Structure 1
Amino acid sequence: MSALPALVSVDWLIRHQGDPDVRILDASFYLPNQNRDAHAEYRERHLPGAAFFDVEVIADPASDLPHMLPSPEQFGRQVGELGIDNADRVVVYDTNRFLASARAWWMFRTMGHQDVMVLDGGLAAWQAAGQKLESGEVRLPVRRFVARFRPDLVLDLDGVRTILEDGSTQIIDVRSPGRFRGAEPEPRAGLRAGHMPGAVNLPYGELIDTDGRLLSNDRLQMALEGAGIDLRLPVAASCGSGVSAAILALAAYQLGKEDLAVYDGSWTEWGGRQDTPIVTE
């Protein structure tokens, strides 16, 4: 298992929420077809002391792709504006089955911050435990956060082309089976349907229990093995736009694989081009 935990329970957070080095972030995010405003919902209700980590804002403003990873300098500045420094323990949660708390967790790790954890079960688990919520916007004093980029945890278009050509890495697509086969429409307009040649499908929902928590390690292992995934080998995750792929990274981390790479542009980039190979079945 990995040295630092990727998940914390509600009970853990109840005990530690008042610790001076614990920072809580609401990283909720919704797909375009869900027609919900995550930031507005955050203002209505959030965990006490939680600031809003907006994956649409903490993103590369120069990219025409949605919520692409920002530069280390931008990430450090914006995270510092949330009142976080490099000595803090960061706990992220969401309201949408790990979208995008897992993405925020992966972003922090990609920017060199290891002490970051996801609240298992998110806001729903907090409420189920009878814990109170707050409303309004939380703003903390600005602090200094220095990001140290880890290129091994992220793939770009050229990187994906390379691993497809050399067959060195298992590519796991966590979209729904229908989207993977090209039988269902994409939630973003203008994308071709299907999947990358050689990719394996493991829908991210199969990693989440009915109560909204991540599956136990034994069941995660079974899910990955059932999809033909060997964590002893290099693995990369892809999804619709680089958000839900991080759920697979989180699951793999729970099983001791700390170097699973996420294709940041994912299908929004791959399926939005005309020069990328696509398979339908």
Structure 2
Amino acid sequence: MVDFDKDALVSTEWLADNLGAPDLRVVDASYYLPGEGLDPRREFEAQHIPGAVFFDIDDIKDPSSDLPHMVPPPHVFSSKVRKLGLGDGLRLVIYDQRGIWSAPRVWWTFRYFGHDEVAVLDGGLPKWLNEGRPVEEGEAHPEERHFTPRMNSFLLRDRGQILANLKSGGEQVLDARGRGRFEGSDPEPRQGLRSGHIPGSCNLPFVEVVEQSAQTLLDAAALKERFTAAGIDLNRPVVTTCGSGVTAAVLSLALHRLGHRDVAVYDGSWSEWGLEGDTPVETGPATVEQS
């Protein structure tokens, strides 16, 4: 028996065995970076897990923000997801077309809006296809279902809270970007951003918590080793961040799998912090205190 709230992951075998369950819905949450030249919706319509609907991260967002795909107000989120047939009383399985990349962001978003019966498909669509499991094509036509948002503010941090944390040090900040971007030696993919990282933050590139050949999350022992090596005390609160709040959620998912519940995502991430302004920026490697 899979406990969605506790486990937060389901296997391709489990999903194949449970696809027809009346209380189960499957969601393709694929997203690609600007400049990659890929349209996730077009890829969804070419092939997707039977019965899946497409969750567009760049559409289900805060329409008043200039930052990319910020969490929307509750009325916007509930209106969008009810049209996808994703509502109260359902178990949701989220996957993406890369494996474990953008699906955790949507897992985290549903949890932020109070829907805890949500899990990520371990290995995503690549593992599903590699195992020869069925797919279908075309648009989805779901029946609407009511969604009641119950916002959990403990799961989200904003710019002001991160600034305040620079003084208090109450929460550890963990950056999921690659080391070159974190250290300031590689350019940012989005124009107009400074290079570097939030002062005092740690760095654990999200790819390092994923087994690359299978695109599955590492086991608990390996995850614990990765977080500890990055300088994270697993007994203290953590805020994850990245380029735009997507892959930060991969680290949040990994921490959740370890039983760590005091974890939030900095929604604006580097797309906000890296703008020209009064937010302080450091460059160079993180200072890791080894115990």
TM-score interval, smaller chain: over 0.9
CA distance in 2, matches of 1:2, 1:54: 22
1:45 maps to a residue whose letter is Q
Measured against aligned partners, the alpha-carbon deviations of 1:136-191 in whole angstroms (never above 9, x if no partner) come to 11121111001100110000111111111111110001100000011001110110
- The sequence identity of aligned pairs, in percent, is 46
Contact preservation (8 Å) 1:154, 1:264:
yes
Q: How does 1:255-266 map to 2 (within 5 A)?
A: 255-266=258-269
Q: Of 189, 193, 218, which aligns to 1:215?
A: 218
Unaligned stretches of 5+ residues in structure 1? none
Equivalent of residue 157 in structure 2, options 155, 172, 181: 155
| Paired residue secondary structure (1:188) | coil
Contact 1:97 1:208 in 2 (8 A): no
Alignment match, 2:108: 106
Once the two structures are TM-superposed, the CA of residue 259 in structure 1 deviates from its matched residue by 2.8
- Name the amino acid aligned to 2:40: A
Q: Render the CA deviation track for 1:174-226: whole Å, top value 9, x for unaligned.
A: 10000001100111011000001101110000000021111111111111111
Contact 2:62/2:70, CA 8 A, preserved across alignment: yes
Per the TM alignment, residue 73 of structure 1 is displaced from its structure 2 partner at its CA by: 1.4
How far apart are the structure 2 equivalents of 1:12 and 1:263?
Answer: 32
Residue 228 and residue 124 in structure 1: after superposition, are their counterparts in 2 closer, same or farther (change >3 A)?
Answer: same
CA shift at 1:121, angstroms? 0.3
Match of 1:204 in 2: 206
**Residue 228 in 1 paired to residue 225 in 2?**
no
The answer to whether the Cα contact below 8 Å between 1:173 and 1:199 also exists between their aligned partners in 2 is: yes
The code of the aligned residue for 2:241 comes to S
Q: Distance in 1 between matches of 2:36 and 2:162?
A: 29
Q: Does 1:126 align with 2:128?
A: yes
1:31-85 C-alpha deviation (Å, 9 max, x unpaired): 1132211111111111101000111111001100000000111111111110122
Match of 1:9 in 2: 11
Equivalent position to 1:280, from 277, 283, 287: 283
What code does the residue aligned with 1:75 have?
F
Give per-residue Cα distances to partners, 1:104-131, cap 9 Å, x unaligned. Answer: 0000000000000000000011111211
In structure 2, what is the equivalent of residue 46 of structure 1?
48
Task: Please report how far the alpha carbon of residue 230 of structure 1 lies from its aligned counterpart in structure 2 after TM superposition.
Answer: 1.1
TM-score, length of structure 2 as denominator length:
0.94
SS at match of 1:43: helix
Query: 1:133 is paired with a residue of what secondary structure?
Result: coil
Q: How many residues were matched structurally?
A: 281
Distance in 2 (CA, whole Å) between partners of 1:2 and 1:116 is 6
User: Which amino acid in structure 2 is aligned with residue 34 of structure 1?
Assistant: E
Task: Give the aligned partner of residue 268 of structure 1.
Answer: 271
**TM-score normalised according to structure 1 size:** 0.98
Q: 2:245 aligns with which of 239, 242, 245?
A: 242
The alignment's C-alpha RMSD in Å is 1.2
Counterparts of 1:154-173 in structure 2, within 5 Å, are 154-173=156-175
Task: Look up the match of 1:62.
Answer: 64
The question of whether the paired residues in 2 share the 8 Å contact of 1:2 and 1:254 is answered with no
1:97: Cα distance to partner? 3.5
Code of the residue aligned with 2:85 in structure 1: it is G
- Alignment of structure 1 residues 80-99 onto 2, 5 Å: 80-99=82-101
Q: Find the counterpart in structure 1 of residue 288 from structure 2.
A: none
